[in-house]
């Protein structure tokens, strides 16, 4: 048989098909591929070889690529993008050597001193076997065994480290270190339910949504274990009526129950690092502000841990200061569009009055700043906040709080007595 008729084969990393000489699309001669240098030779000759740790190849060996290759993805290593780029090594796909799965969802897990829960969180992610994923854990300066535990799961995920900077900065680093079209931000003590990623992606494809929200169940810390709490769902009616107003005031979902489109995340610009306690709620508002399309995926997809050690419970004053700052920032954003609408004014009044009451009860003098914000914008001050201000002026803040707490306890006791059958049957 002539040389022209001799069948040469090259393996396509995706389709594993044989191509004869002269049959290559466009009239190219496949025999030319045999003279190509190896991909390792090309990389070493063409790029500064700053080794960057990435996923292992299918054989479990550590694989490295130069920093310059990251430009293929536009930001950082993305095996799916490298696969689509079609880089070959004597007919063998570089992507096939690095990773066999096209990454669809990036899972970003910030972790600070989460040794007690991080293993279960990781296992819940790795159980999503029906969806390709790029899992990134960013250890935020933990002082316990979090980093050691996370690294025990390598190379099935990536582990990054750095000094303690807070959840927002850590999530933002995770955004920069990933490149998939979809992102889930998962706290180190929350869990994904098996199959949830595929169901969220199905909803996204069917609806064209930018944010997919599933239902979640609360896990209540109790002694040495947890108790299953209520199953929660987002307020769909509020989202449908006015997503911005809803997310500014009360609409919330744990990040574990949310799937974000990357293009939306990039328009938002990341999590607010000046809101350390409520940055997740603000991010959801920012999604609405940037015109996100929301969709509900009707299934239980996440479990969210409720802990007495959470920052909002340990330091309520800090939580309410965040609420106040968030309200001011939202007001500025709305004002850039023109005069405030009546619904926006009502929402801001709710935010500022809520912050004032919370700060008053936390004996934080910042509650007067919340009152000042209300008056500066011509918004109504609630009756209870007017009374709190008057009591503080007369008796001092701490004593005023004691009076208010005593009055609240008295009202609760009176209400319970009135509901009691004994009280209702007593002779007049």
Q: Residue 278 domain-assigned? A: yes
CA dihedral 14→15→20→24, nearest 10 degrees, is: -60
Say yes or no: 133 and 214 in one domain: yes
Do 127 and 270 have their domain in common? yes
Q: Is the pLDDT of residue 38 over 70?
A: no
At 315 the pLDDT is 85
- How many whole angstroms separate alpha carbon 245 and alpha carbon 162? 36
Q: Are residues 272 and 400 in the same domain?
A: no
* Residues sharing a CB contact under 8 Å with residue 298, sequence separation 6 or more, in sequence order: 214, 215
From 98, 113, 136, give the residue that closes a domain: 98
Residues 305 and 320 reside in one and the same domain: no
pLDDT at 408 over 90: no
- Whether residue 189 is predicted with pLDDT greater than 60 in this model: the reply is yes
Task: Say if residue 242's pLDDT is above 70.
Answer: yes
Q: Tell me, yes or no, whether 216 and 339 share the same domain.
A: no
Task: Dump the DSSP string for 323-372.
Answer: HHHHHHHHHHHHHTTSSPPHHHHHHHHHHHHHHHHHHHHTT-TTHHHHHH
Contact 70, 51 (CB under 8 A): no
CA–CA distance, 72 with 76 (Å, rounded to integer): 8
* Percent of the chain with pLDDT strictly greater than 70: 70
Average the pLDDT over 212-224 and give the result: 90
- 207 and 81 together in one domain: no
Q: What number is the average pLDDT over the span 232-236?
A: 96
Q: Does 377 have pLDDT greater than 50?
A: yes
In the prediction, which pLDDT does 312 show?
Answer: 57
Q: Name the domain count of the chain.
A: 3
- Please report which confidence band the pLDDT of residue 78 belongs to, taking 50, 70 and 90 as the band edges: very low
Q: For position 416, what pLDDT does the model report?
A: 66
Query: In angstroms, rounded to a whole number, what is the distance separating the alpha carbons of residues 27 and 22?
Result: 6
d(CA 288, CA 264): 10
Where residue 220 sits, what CATH number does that domain have?
Answer: 3.90.550.10
Residues in the chain: 428
Domain limits at 86? 36-98
Whether residue 291 lies inside any domain: the answer is yes
What pLDDT sits at residue 56?
34
H or E element in which residue 318 lies:
helix 316-335
* 253 & 117 share domain: yes
Report the candidate in 184, 210, 176 with the shortest Cα–Cα distance to residue 74. Answer: 176
The whole-number average pLDDT for the span 22-36 is 39
Q: Tell whether the model's pLDDT for residue 16 goes beyond 90.
A: no
Confidence of residue 399 (pLDDT cuts 50, 70, 90): confident
**Burial (CB count <10 Å: 0-12, 13-18, 19+), residue 302:** buried
Alpha-carbon distances, residue 37 vs 34, 42, 70, 169 (angstroms): 8, 7, 21, 42
* 422 vs 250, higher pLDDT: 250
Whether residue 288 is found in the same domain as residue 359: no
How is residue 112 written in tokens?
């600070």
CA angle 100, 34, 58 (to 5 degrees): 15
The reply to whether 3 falls in a domain is no
- Structural domain contains residue 7: no
pLDDT of residue 413: 67
Confidence of residue 130 (pLDDT cuts 50, 70, 90): confident
- What DSSP string runs through 101-127? S---EEEEEEESS-TTTHHHHHHHHHT
- Is the domain of 126 the same as that of 201? yes
Residue 27 lies in a domain: no
DSSP helix/strand/coil, 422: helix
Residues 130 and 195 in one domain: yes
Helix (H) or strand (E) holding 140: strand 133-140
* Residue 81 or 337, more confident: 337
Nearest to 133 by CA among 55, 225, 67, 64: 55
Pairing relationship of beta strands 105-111 and 133-140 according to DSSP bridges: parallel
Domain presence at residue 19: no
CB 173 within 8 A of CB 159: no
Of the two residues 310 and 257, the one the predictor is more confident about is 257
Among residues 289, 309, 329, the one where a domain terminates is 309
pLDDT > 90: percent of the chain: 63
**Other C-beta atoms lying within 10 Å of the C-beta of residue 311:** 16
Between 409 and 4, the more confident residue is 409
SS3 129: coil
Q: Are residues 63 and 92 in the same domain?
A: yes
Neighbours of 364 (CB within 10 A): 20
367 lies in a domain? Answer: yes
Do residues 364 and 325 both lie within one domain? yes
């Amino acid at each position: 048989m002539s040389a022209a008729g001799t069948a040469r084969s090259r393996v396509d990393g995706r389709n594993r098909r044989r191509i004869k000489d002269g049959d290559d699309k466009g009239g190219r001669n496949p025999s030319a591929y045999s003279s190509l240098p190896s991909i390792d030779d090309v990389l070493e000759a063409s790029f500064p070889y700053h080794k960057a740790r990435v996923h292992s190849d299918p054989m479990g060996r550590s694989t490295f690529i130069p920093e310059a290759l990251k430009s293929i993805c536009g930001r950082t290593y993305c095996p799916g993008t490298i696969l689509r780029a079609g880089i070959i090594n004597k007919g063998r796909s570089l992507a096939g050597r690095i990773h066999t799965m096209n990454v669809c969802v990036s899972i970003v897990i910030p972790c600070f001193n989460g040794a007690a829960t991080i293993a279960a969180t990781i296992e819940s992610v790795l159980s999503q076997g029906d969806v390709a994923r790029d899992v990134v854990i960013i250890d935020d300066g933990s002082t316990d065994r979090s980093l050691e535990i996370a690294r025990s799961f390598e190379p099935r995920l990536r582990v990054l480290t750095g000094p303690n900077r807070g959840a927002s900065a850590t999530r933002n680093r995770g955004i920069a270190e990933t490149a998939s079209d979809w992102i889930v931000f998962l706290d180190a003590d929350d869990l994904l339910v098996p199959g949830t990623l595929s169901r969220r992606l199905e909803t996204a494809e069917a609806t064209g949504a930018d944010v997919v929200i599933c239902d979640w169940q609360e896990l209540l810390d109790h002694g040495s274990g947890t108790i299953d709490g209520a199953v929660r769902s987002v307020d769909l009616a509020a989202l449908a009526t006015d997503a911005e107003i809803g997310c500014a005031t009360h609409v919330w979902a744990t990040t574990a129950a949310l799937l974000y489109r990357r293009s939306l995340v990039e328009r938002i610009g990341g999590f607010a690092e000046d809101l350390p306690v409520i940055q997740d709620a603000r991010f959801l508002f920012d999604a609405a502000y940037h015109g996100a399309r929301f969709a509900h995926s009707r299934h239980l997809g996440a479990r969210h841990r409720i802990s007495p050690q959470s920052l909002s419970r340990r330091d309520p004053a800090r939580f309410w200061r965040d609420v106040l700052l968030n309200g001011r920032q939202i007001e500025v954003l709305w004002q850039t569009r023109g005069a405030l609408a009546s619904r926006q004014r009502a929402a801001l009044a709710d935010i500022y009055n809520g912050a004032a009451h919370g700060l008053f009860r936390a004996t934080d003098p910042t509650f007067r700043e919340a009152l000042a914000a209300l008056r500066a914008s011509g918004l109504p001050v609630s009756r209870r906040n007017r009374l709190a201000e008057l009591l503080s002026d007369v008796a001092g803040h701490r004593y005023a709080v004691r009076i208010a707490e005593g009055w609240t306890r008295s009202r609760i006791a009176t209400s319970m007595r009135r509901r009691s059958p004994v009280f209702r049957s007593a002779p007049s």
